Structure 1
Amino acid sequence: MTREEALRSIAAGVVAGTLGLAACSSERKPQTEVPAAPAAGGRVTLRRNMRNGDEVSLLGFGCMRFPTVGGDRYTGTIDEEPTLEMLDYAYAHGVNYFDTAWMYHGGKSEEMVGKALKRYPRESFFLADKMPPTAKTLEEAKEIFSTQLERCGVEYFDYYLCHSISRQYVFQNLYIDEGVLDYLLELKAEGRIRNLGFSFHGDMALFEWLLSQPVEWDFVQIQMNWLDWRDRKLQAERLYTMLAERKIPVIVMEPIRGGALIDLPASVRSLLASADASLTPAAWALKFCASYPYVLTVLSGMTRMEHVVENCATMTGFEPLSEERLELLQRAADIYRNNTRIDCTDCFYCMPCPYGVDIAGIFRVYNRCSDEQLLPDPSGAHDEEYRRRRRRMLNRYRNTVAERSRAEHCIGCNECSPKCPQGLDIPRQIDRVEELIEALRMG
């Protein structure tokens, strides 16, 4: 039996008993690290929010990457049955933090989360939602918040965020000039928001400015993983340190960088295996984030049941990584950065392209070849190895990117780049892939 088959087998055996377990409300005791009551296969470790006593599961369920039918998570429909099974399994195994947003799955994520969670006691889970950066006025923000409560079937949100803050003028215009921040603070005073924070995708100057605002942020959500920890642009270590110094709880997003830390280059896989061959890339990634004490929960956008089973197991009976292993991951990051991959996390914020270009799909083909160290070099020797790599990349491109959605349809309008949380110059990267594909087609 393969590892994947084993995970599926475990999942199938437990999901059948999930709904009965879901009826049980979890107690919350005031301690920093809380061992949860056992379920079949154990329960995810809880971590106490030092500000308010909430006992939150170290693994949070990010609700942006549910399984879909009839397309991807932008064009397709959420596949309800496996999604509910995944949410039920996670809940039964101690996951009590669920993170959704107005934009996820075109608004259908909130509805699906509401459908799942309405079967559980309201005090047994924490629900996070977000004010979208696309809101323009106070009246629109009020309508959005009301609709979110209705979609999710709740009367309040435990954690609520100003979503994807990446530019000062956007925050200034919407939250300060339009009065949306004051409105959210009013909702907090009324109890319809229990904790108010923001998710961040900007530069250090913006982060410092946000923390200097005359508002007491209850938590902040940052992109944090072992690759971005000492990255010169993203500076996750510095972001975390600034929050820890202020005793602000940290919610982690992109712990596996949209899957990039799963399909690792062979040299990185070898290094990690030399330290502990029993840990999967996902386990290394989640454990890295959870090893830092001001991290309240680590969000994982899980698409398949085996993801849920593995991640729950990783965060059950959690023990932080040693300093030696944390440093080993930084050595791995140094090796990884020498790779030529494009830093796309597959978040789909850049979509839809007005010209139909499948931005994420194009980058996915390129990055997979890069991660496997199989990128063909048209400027080198056209030997048998080159021809093998050339065939592989061209076949992947033809088979996974529809003809009408390929790189040659990009006109460089740059509508996408301002939306990219990673700050990618997307048209330039699309051109880079197109140039390679064209060179490969020429032979």
Structure 2
Amino acid sequence: MKYVTLKNEKLSQLGLGTWDLGEHTLKRSSEQEALVYGLAHGVNVVDTAEMYGEGQSEQLVGEVLTHFDRQKLFVISKFYPWHSQTKLLRASLEASLKRLKTDYLDLYLLHWREGEDLRQVLGDLHALKKQGLIKHFGVSNFDTADLKEALSLPYGTELFCNEDLYNLSQRGIEYDLIPYQRQNDIGLIGYSPFNSGTGDSIELKPSLKKLAQKYQVTPHQIMLAWTMRDFVLTIPKASSVAHMKANLAAAELTLTDEDLALLDQDYPAPSKKEPLATI
């Protein structure tokens, strides 16, 4: 397993995404087994949100956490922007903690911007951190201008990370956002490494097929390995043990400079600023 260190936290570059997990009764057992398998095989990061199934994903994660030493895991959740007012924020956090069966979060993220008072939100997150209810706080779906604004405000420099869409077909953040985050020691969590669903929306171009053949893996495993070539932490969803095993195998792949250059030909890096892509 590859690891990155962000603000003294040693995190597996492969995390466990949970969007759409916990919402389907017939799939729940398989999903739980997949999460348990991942955590038992070196993954220490779980990403969820109150939005996912209106708390059902958090409940699933909470059931899984009971099988492990909580202090060895890094649990992330997110709150709706309309829950960002002081009293609502605390209520959202307490509800998430209850569903997750834990008394603290390692990381709490504003899920996206929607007109909230960023100064007040950062102040409240700092207060929750001082109270021990969260260890770190950050943001999600922020572009460079959003981050610059946040860093100009009180407690903005405490931002742990920004979580954005990032995959072979969505590389826009490489132009200025990733360099800015690196410069300011803000971690990057890339969501949807297969774009959405099973990744069928990413065209399987010749370079991807060639590298899959070279390493005797699937194109999707190449996609996943590509996202972990730098300091990015990626959070694919796996709803079965078989899928989890495939993701774990991809985490062991190291693409060469020649491999990356080949992929660049079919999936080029941005040459100018692009609007922030989201799902």
Normalised by the size of structure 1, how large is the TM-score? 0.56
Does the 8 Å contact 2:77/2:105 carry over to 1? yes
Flag the 1:161–1:330 CA change in 2: closer, same or farther, 3 A: same
In structure 2, what is the equivalent of residue 222 of structure 1?
A: 164
In structure 1, what is the equivalent of residue 127 of structure 2?
A: 186
Flag the 1:328–1:210 CA change in 2: closer, same or farther, 3 A: farther
Which of 138, 147, 150 aligns to 1:210? It is 150
CA offsets, 1:64-83, max 9 Å, x none? 132754xxxxxxx4732112
Which of 213, 227, 245 aligns to 1:309? It is 245
Question: What displacement does 1:248 show?
Answer: 1.9
Question: What displacement does 1:322 show?
Answer: 2.3
What root-mean-square deviation, in Å, do the aligned CA atoms of Structure 1 and Structure 2 show? 2.4
Q: Which amino acid aligns with 1:181?
A: L
Q: Which amino acid aligns with 2:267?
A: A
Cα separation, 1, equivalents of 2:79 and 2:16 = 19
Flag the 1:57–1:423 CA change in 2: closer, same or farther, 3 A: closer
Which of 58, 61, 74 aligns to 1:110? It is 58
Does the 8 Å contact 2:12/2:43 carry over to 1? yes
Which of 87, 95, 115 aligns to 2:35? It is 87
Question: Where do residues 285-364 of structure 1 align in structure 2 (5 Å cutoff)?
Answer: 285-292=223-230, 294-295=231-232, 297-316=233-252, 318-319=253-254, 321-333=255-267
Q: Which amino acid aligns with 1:253?
A: Y
Which of 194, 200, 219 aligns to 1:281? It is 219
Structure 2 counterpart SS, 1:86: helix
In structure 2, what is the equivalent of residue 65 of structure 1?
A: 20
Flag the 1:118–1:188 CA change in 2: closer, same or farther, 3 A: same
Q: Which amino acid aligns with 2:237?
A: G
Does the 8 Å contact 2:55/2:96 carry over to 1? no
Cα separation, 2, equivalents of 1:275 and 1:180 = 45
Cα separation, 2, equivalents of 1:221 and 1:265 = 24
Cα separation, 2, equivalents of 1:155 and 1:106 = 20
Cα separation, 1, equivalents of 2:203 and 2:259 = 19
Which of 165, 176, 179 aligns to 1:241? It is 179
In structure 2, what is the equivalent of residue 49 of structure 1?
A: 5
Cα separation, 1, equivalents of 2:262 and 2:106 = 36
Structure 1 unaligned runs (5+)? 1-44, 70-76, 335-420, 425-443
Moved more, 236-245 or 89-98: 236-245
Flag the 1:276–1:122 CA change in 2: closer, same or farther, 3 A: closer
Does the 8 Å contact 2:49/2:77 carry over to 1? yes
Question: Where do residues 359-378 of structure 1 align in structure 2 (5 Å cutoff)?
Answer: none
Match status 1:155 vs 2:103: yes
Identical amino acids, percent of aligned pairs: 26
Cα separation, 1, equivalents of 2:45 and 2:30 = 19
Structure 2 unaligned runs (5+)? 269-275
CA offsets, 1:407-427, max 9 Å, x none? xxxxxxxxxxxxxx8479xxx
Does the 8 Å contact 2:48/2:57 carry over to 1? yes
Match status 1:127 vs 2:75: yes
Does the 8 Å contact 2:163/2:189 carry over to 1? yes
Does the 8 Å contact 2:12/2:45 carry over to 1? yes
Does the 8 Å contact 2:139/2:163 carry over to 1? yes
Q: Which amino acid aligns with 1:115?
A: E
Which of 156, 164, 168 aligns to 2:112? It is 164
Match status 1:195 vs 2:164: no
Cα separation, 1, equivalents of 2:101 and 2:132 = 16
Aligned length: 268
Cα separation, 2, equivalents of 1:298 and 1:274 = 23
Normalised by the size of structure 2, how large is the TM-score? 0.86
Question: What displacement does 1:302 show?
Answer: 2.0
